[in-house]
Amino acid sequence: MKLKISWPTGIIIAITAFIVFILSFVYKVTFLPEYDHHLVSEQYYKDELNYQIEIDNEIKGLDLKENVSIKKVNEGLLVSFPKEFKPSDITGNIVFKRLSNSKIDFEQIINLKTHELLIKDDVLVDGRWDVYIEWEVNKNTYLYKEKLMY
């Protein structure tokens, strides 16, 4: 037995199959948790208003003789601060953001005895991290940003 399909029926079947295909993607993106979509920042508009201040603080850091540096070592990440300042005068915080999973974001308060701060290996997951180091010395605020693969 041979099945014969007329061309109008074939067009209707093709359009219906295409609609089902598109709707399956809409369902996946909307309802399944592995396709979770969210903004990088929950306070997007507030962050946008402070963006010029961030740029100015980054430029101040670049104007120093030595800026903050991040280096991967066996124990984790070693954050080095400029030696022109006393370690006890440096305050601030380091924010680690993971764009793929905001649940593992964390913040480290800067409390130095030497010019270096070690972020232990056990709190960092392999992958891409956005690191924001906002630090203050003598009422001057500096900002250092880096995207790194750990």
The pLDDT of residue 4: 85
Strands (E), the chain: 69-73, 76-80, 91-97, 106-111, 116-120, 128-137, 140-149
Where is pLDDT greater, at 40 or 83?
83
Mean pLDDT over the full length of the chain: 87
CATH code for the part of the protein at 44-149: 2.60.40.10
Domain boundaries, the chain: 1-37, 44-149
pLDDT, tens digit (0-9, with 9 covering 90-100), for 3-28: 788 999 999 999 999 999 999 999 98
In one letter, which amino acid is 82?
A: P
pLDDT in tens, 85-131: 998 889 999 999 888 777 888 899 998 889 899 988 888 888 888 99
Measured distance CA(72)–CA(76) in Å, rounded: 6
pTM over 0.85, yes/no: no
Sign of CA dihedral 110, 137, 85, 105: positive
